[in-house]
Structure 1
Amino acid sequence: MLVKENNRIYDSSIANTDIAEETISVLSEYILGDITVRYITDRNRQVGLWLYPAHFTLPLSEKRRTLDNEKWARGHLKGRIAIKVEPLVHIKINGDDQPGEFGGGRTMKWSPSNERFHLVEQKVEDDKIVTILEDKSGLRIFHKLEEGTKGILKSETSFVNGSEKAVKLELFTSFSIGGISPYDSSDAGEKILVHRFRTGWSAEGQMVSESIEHLHLERTWAGKTHLSERFGQVGSMPTRGWFPTTLVEDTAAGVTWGARLEAPVSWQMEIGRRHDDIVMSGGIADREFGHWTKTIDTKETFTPPAAWLTCVAGTVDEACERLVSVDQQAAEEQPAIEQELPVIYNDWCTSWGEPSEEGLLDTAKKAAELGVKYFVIDAGWYTPTDKNTNWVTSFGDWIPEKERFPNGIRAVTEKIREYGMIPGIWFEPEYVARDSKAFQETEHLLKRDGVPLTVGVRRAWDLQDPYAIAYIHSRVTEFLRKSGFGYLKVDHSETLGIGVDHPDGLGEGLRCQGEGTLSLLESFRKELPELVIEITSAGGNRLEASILQRCSMNSCSDAHGVPEIPIIAASMHRLILPRQSQVWAVLLAADSPREMDYSLSAAFLGRMCLSGEIAQLSVGQRKRVSRAVSLYKRVVPVIKYGSSSIINRRNASLRHPKGWQAVVRIRENEGMIVVHTFEEAPDEISLHLPGSRWKITDSLSAAQTDIKGDVLKIYKMPGFSGNVFVIVRE
């Protein structure tokens, strides 16, 4: 880390008036990896954070100090400021005045609470830059920034109550980056794009790119008005609606800033502006957005979930790759078998919630012959065969149904292991369903307004309650151990919504439940160290960092056997590691070779998961699947450690796609290209490869191709077909 201190960069007008003369200066400057971290301050000892690429050839612009160069600025309007120090942590304390300038209901940033805190110290401690702010009563804010994986910074904030009375927080951010963009001397008109990722059930992770102008965040003519696009998710499904990943791109400079939150429950991001520069911040969903307040007693400390930050002289794909790389270390620490990225079979699209010993074992032998390693029994194994109940209303007691498993479920797991596979099973351990006995354990279930919280057919265990934890340990953990399972699929198929009862309110109750979820996941692996854990949440509604780092993989979507699968799977490359992204290939006996290739090639975009009519496939179809599995195993190193570029030449619709897409994933001198066509596919597909001297050494199916220089051309792929090309550099 290199440090520069007390360097004046320009004069500006700040403080409590709009026209006061004041100096903004550089407090310190560090180089962390390839990112320059600049802390700025003013005479009131407020502190802000800027990031920009180190050693970038494009110089920073000298920011204007006033708006006097604009035509309208004359007379009494002269000297109106253009930029201020934007707080590196935003805070709102209950009882303090509300922020003005039309922000109420739209943002809680820029609260007068921020003005209470002033710099008392900045130091480097254990390779972390620690900035300490304090108010007169003894309240302190700690901001810690450290280098993570390549090109990544970890931002952590803490609030310490050193005063003589309790205080209640209404907003406390995990990060805030100001000074966007330092490559423009004024307000960077028509240069800034915001990239976000919308998500929904079976429609996960679709990137939305909008200009600052389109978001209605242009600086007002006089400045200072509190403008903010506040967005996020409220509930226990953290990637329902939006992903907690956001990027801001200066298209003229070619620089992208990115942030990714750890957020097991409600969270928010804000793209805000008062003056010339854009401010990006985020953390726990605040009182207005997420119904959150938290009382901090005297001598107590509160630390919210961390945020991961990057700044790259490069593309959105490059910034996203950096942000997801923080999960790589945790993935490496999963059970040793996971380093092979084994192929999964899941019986959901085979039995559709009605598994049986006979059907499972009939399929298991054939799955093993195809190269499957994990054989997973999905929902319904506990469901009575009485048609008056079904899998979704009867879970929670977790007792295997004897009619489905006449020889006991242990007999099934033993047979699966005889075939050389690891048996897995589905649970939804945090919830209980309407027809279970556990549904009536209301003393130990979550409540809202004193009433058991029922969401559809579900109620949830209070994960702060020792009885609930003991119940889950007995019915889930011990069941896995005694029954011989080595793979656990953890579902969470409803959201708890705005929150649950807690003395500080619904939002804090939900935050505590989220902490319980993380502890529960940790307990499974602590008790069963070799257990492989898959997370799903009605598909991809829990694809966020803190949960991803506590499991082996996630089901990226509930899209099964439908045209949008490869589109969703490709979008996941920007949001989670492909090695953790389970992609379903549902195979039917009636499938044509083209239909099979469409499904199988999509599974190369992450972790291959087979389902469907495996036992009914013809000899020729089984050979096709075996061929795909063998090719998949060959490219495992590329899936694990490659870098992806997504080429999108399709329309906006997921349900009715037209055109084509490709994902080029490269690891050093090897790589793979996964191509899918849709309706109205062209006769010729042309895409650029990174550099030249590439050759195709294998493919999923035969294709007409040609490589010249860095251009690959693929000819006559019919609509709704897929293919995988293995490439190496000569």
Structure 2
Amino acid sequence: MQSSRFRELINLIGLLLVGIAPYKSDCSSALSTPVDDSRKSSPTLAAAVPLPFEKVLPGPVTDYEIVTASGDFAREYLLRTFRLPAEGFRYVQKLGRSSNGIKPWLLVRNVETGEGVAVSLAYSGNWILAVEPRGENTVLRAATSPASLAPFDTIGGLPIPGALVAEFSGDWDHGAQPIVRYIRKHLLRDMGEDWPPVQYNTWYADYDRLSQKAILAQAKAAAEMGCELFTIDAGWYGGTVPEAGWVGALGDWTVNHEKLPDGLEPIAAEVRRLGMKCGLWIEIERVSPNSPVGREHPDWFLRDGEKPFERRGSYTLDFGNPQVVAWAKSQIDRLVADYKLDYLKMDFNTNLQLDSERFAGVEDVLYRHYRGLAELWRHLRAEHPDLIVENCSSGSLRHDVMTAAMTDTHWVSDNVNPNMCLAMNHGATYLFPPETCSHWTIVPPWGLKKYASRDADHAAIESSFDPTTQFTVNMMGHLGLSGRIQDWDALTRKIAAERIALYKQIRPIMRKADVYHLTAQANPDAPKMMQAALYVDPETNRAVLFAYQANDPRLEATVRLKGLRPDRRYRVRGPENLELPESSAGHELIENGLKLRFPNRGASAVILLTGERGA
């Protein structure tokens, strides 16, 4: 996470989002628009394939449309659907971070037949995705860049580098779900009944200006509201360079006693006394030249030829060097042992810009680097099996199927504006299991910060959501809090505690759910349409509906549900002010929908549906 990059958000505001529409429906249509679900694909798993991968699709490229997901900083997972032009589509990743620009994920389908193919890549370096004409037909191609890279690992039957591929028919969800199912079944670890834990992270309270007094006050407030994990973000380190700031101290993974005079031990002890797990932030791949390792081993810097990869005065270490990997293992092993860590937030805040195509036929430096990083992650799993590892990279700019297989959860975006959270969480659940998509609620809503002064207060922006909804938007994934929660008023704390308690009730469903996106993705810059998604656990026949009024001109809407059993009757439980029925037949919910009456603009609803025998 790097606060300075939020300045980029100013330049990004105003970009338009093209929402994802159900098959053969109007993108701007109401929630009650019928969806052609007659060609619904049966629950299947994607296939794991090596790269490069090619699939010939019948007919000209102009017969096809595709969906991509944005990887732009602070605008991740915004979905774009478009009909292919005569030249088709081609994207070559050159930034050295798999998900920067667009995600390494694509769905393509024939506009007339609805037949399509979904692909998601398992490689954190550079890659190519293309849907292009070939004679009278169309070809889908996925490859690493350069294309000659051999697998260096296999996890759950998936070669890495490799890809998950699924053929589908009908809705976009039918292409996305088999990939998500494979990730959950074959790549994720069983994290227990309390997964994912509700967390608090210190970052948006004071950024890297940490103090023991503030941290302890935040820990007390977090525990009182029901948080189960407390993570200290960037700024705790730099013992030999205490004035260097969070970037200038990278590589010196010793406690900064000017900020934390008593060290981390009493903080970690108090966090545990309060009943929470303890986590720590680290960016192990980058170092400052002023840190001990930077001064002693400039030969360890990752280079393109003679030029090291540098950003803001810090350098990336070369994980293709076994000595570097050994050093990284020793640093993390020490931190886990010294502070009895339960959670490690592993960040990476720089691009490794490289034209990998010029390395055709040989390994590029990125490949060797990511092979070494994979070795580090395997080491952590082997030596610290109870350690939860979060993948972060300036948000989710390096999250793909490879990182999903080797870590446990991921940070969706540095942008925590509630409007954005709603849209991005909706999009992220097309690509990954919701329990692995971490996002936090900050109160008051965080928007564009005044960067003229590091001491400036958060700039106030108008949110489209009421206070309860500002928490509910992040319940669609791995829920967390941040900000100065010790200063929240009694009402805000009460709402947070209620939302957290509800989240703990529904997360067993989330861990096993197929996600059905019932509406288009709301415009994050100015939401003016309702958004809804249904999480269905096919094993227990239970479901959770997340519905958001999102500044729509209407307060009433009917949501046609998907994924339910038509032969079952469903008990319906939700907010009393929505005037919900006590129960409804599955076929009625599918064919006619569930009517919602929101009490106010910006409201939301979390509705539990439990299937019973007999319609």
Higher relative contact order (CA 8 A, sep 6+): 2
In the TM superposition, residue 385 of structure 1 has moved relative to its aligned partner by 12
Instruction: State the alpha-carbon separation in 2 of the partners of residues 569 and 604 from structure 1.
Output: 9
Which structure 2 residue ranges, 5 or more long, are not aligned?
A: 1-37, 152-158, 446-459
**Helix, strand or coil: the match of 1:415?**
helix
Quote the Cα distance in structure 2 between the aligned partners of 1:539 and 1:571: 14
Q: Which residue of 2 aligns with 1:282?
A: 142
User: What's the CA shift for 1:305?
Assistant: 1.5
Q: Summarize the Cα distance change of 1:684–1:614 in structure 2 as closer, same or farther, 3 Å threshold.
A: same
Once the 2 structures are TM-superposed, how far is the Cα of residue 248 of structure 1 from its aligned partner? Answer: 1.7
Equivalent residue in structure 1 for 2:130, among 270, 292, 306: 270
More helix by proportion, 1 or 2?
2
CA shift for structure 1 position 309 = 1.3
Q: What SS is found at the alignment partner of 1:341?
A: coil
The 1:483–1:258 alpha-carbon spacing in structure 2 relative to 1, beyond 3 Å, is same
Matched, 1:497 2:365: no
Counterparts of 1:405 and 1:723, CA distance in 2:
42
Provide the secondary structure at the position in 2 that maps to 1:411.
Answer: helix
Given the two structures, how large is their TM-score scaled by the length of structure 1? Answer: 0.68
Tell me the residue number matched to 2:115.
255
- For 2:18, the equivalent position in structure 1 comes to none
Change in CA separation of 1:247 and 1:430 when aligned onto 2, cut-off 3 Å: same
Question: Matched residue of 1:623: which SS?
Answer: helix
State the alpha-carbon separation in 2 of the partners of residues 247 and 592 from structure 1. 32
Among all aligned residue pairs of Structure 1 and Structure 2, give the percentage whose two residues are the same amino acid: 20
The 1:199–1:567 alpha-carbon spacing in structure 2 relative to 1, beyond 3 Å, is same
2:474 aligned residue: 603
Structure 1 residues 539 and 506: CA distance shift in structure 2, 3 A: farther
Greater C-alpha radius of gyration: 1
Quick one: which of 206, 222, 227 aligns to 1:372? Answer: 227
- Which residue is equivalent to 2:513? 642
Asked whether 1:400 is paired with 2:255, we answer yes
SS where residue 198 of structure 1 aligns? strand
What is the aligned-residue RMSD (CA, Å)?
A: 3.1
Q: Report the Cα distance in structure 1 between the residues aligned to 2:485 and 2:39, rounded to whole angstroms.
A: 56
SS at match of 1:659: coil
Deviates more, 1:429-438 or 1:326-335: 326-335
What is the 5 A alignment of 1:107-256?
150-156=44-50, 173-178=51-56, 180-181=57-58, 187=59, 191-212=63-84, 215-217=85-87, 229-256=89-116
Alignment partners' CA distance in 1, 2:401 and 2:594: 35
CA–CA distance in 1 between the matches of 2:292 and 2:404? 31
Deviations along 1:82-122, one digit per CA (max 9) or x if unpaired, are xxxxxxxxxxxxxxxxxxxxxxxxxxxxxxxxxxxxxxxxx
CA contact (8 A) 2:434 2:478 kept: yes
Tell me which amino acid in the other structure corresponds to 2:556.
E
Question: What secondary structure does 1:605 align onto?
Answer: coil
Q: 1:675 aligns with which of 541, 544, 547?
A: 547
Q: Scaled by the length of structure 2, what TM-score is found?
A: 0.80
Report deviation, 1:394: 2.0
**Could you tell me how far apart the structure 2 residues matched to 1:638 and 1:176 are?**
36
Partner of 1:719: 601
* SS at structure 1 position matched to 2:96: coil
Q: For the residues of structure 2 that align with 1:566 and 1:461, how far apart are their CA atoms?
A: 36
Paired residues in the alignment total 537
CA gap of 1:266–1:382, structure 2 versus 1, over 3 A, is: same
- Larger strand proportion of the pair: 1
Q: Is the 8 A contact 1:522 1:550 kept in 2?
A: yes
CA distance in 2, matches of 1:455, 1:293: 29
1:568-608 deviations in whole A, cap 9, x for unaligned? 00111111110101121113499999632122111221011
Q: In the superposition, relative to structure 1, how do residues 559 and 57 fare at CA in structure 2: closer, same or farther (>3 Å)?
A: closer
Does the 8 A contact of 1:385 with 1:404 survive in 2?
no
Query: Is the counterpart of residue 431 in structure 1 residue 286 in structure 2?
Result: yes
Is 1:697 the counterpart of 2:573? The answer is yes
Q: SS state of the match for residue 494, structure 1?
A: coil
Q: Counterpart of 2:536? A: 666
Q: Which amino acid aligns with 1:277?
A: N
Instruction: State the distance in 1 between where 2:424 and 2:291 align.
Output: 35
Q: 1:465 to 1:384 in 2, by over 3 A?
A: closer
Runs of 4 or more off by more than 6 Å in structure 1?
Answer: 292-296, 384-387, 499-507, 589-593
Q: 1:401 Cα deviation (Å)?
A: 0.8
Q: CA deviation at 1:386?
A: 9.5
Q: How far apart, CA to CA, are the structure 1 residues paired with 2:241 and 2:318? A: 30
| Contact 1:174/1:304 (8 A) holds in 2 | no
Q: Distance in 1 between matches of 2:149 and 2:226?
A: 51
Whether 1:541 aligns to 2:397 is yes
Cα distance in 2 for partners of 1:580, 1:295 equals 28
Q: Secondary structure at the match of 1:519?
A: helix
The one-letter amino acid paired with 1:240 is N
SS of the counterpart of 1:258?
Answer: strand
1:133-168 residue CA offsets vs partner (Å, 9 max, x unmatched) = xxxxxxxxxxxxxxxx93322222xxxxxxxxxxxx
8 Å contact kept, 1:499–1:506: no
Asked if the contact 1:330/1:550 (under 8 Å) is kept, the reply is no
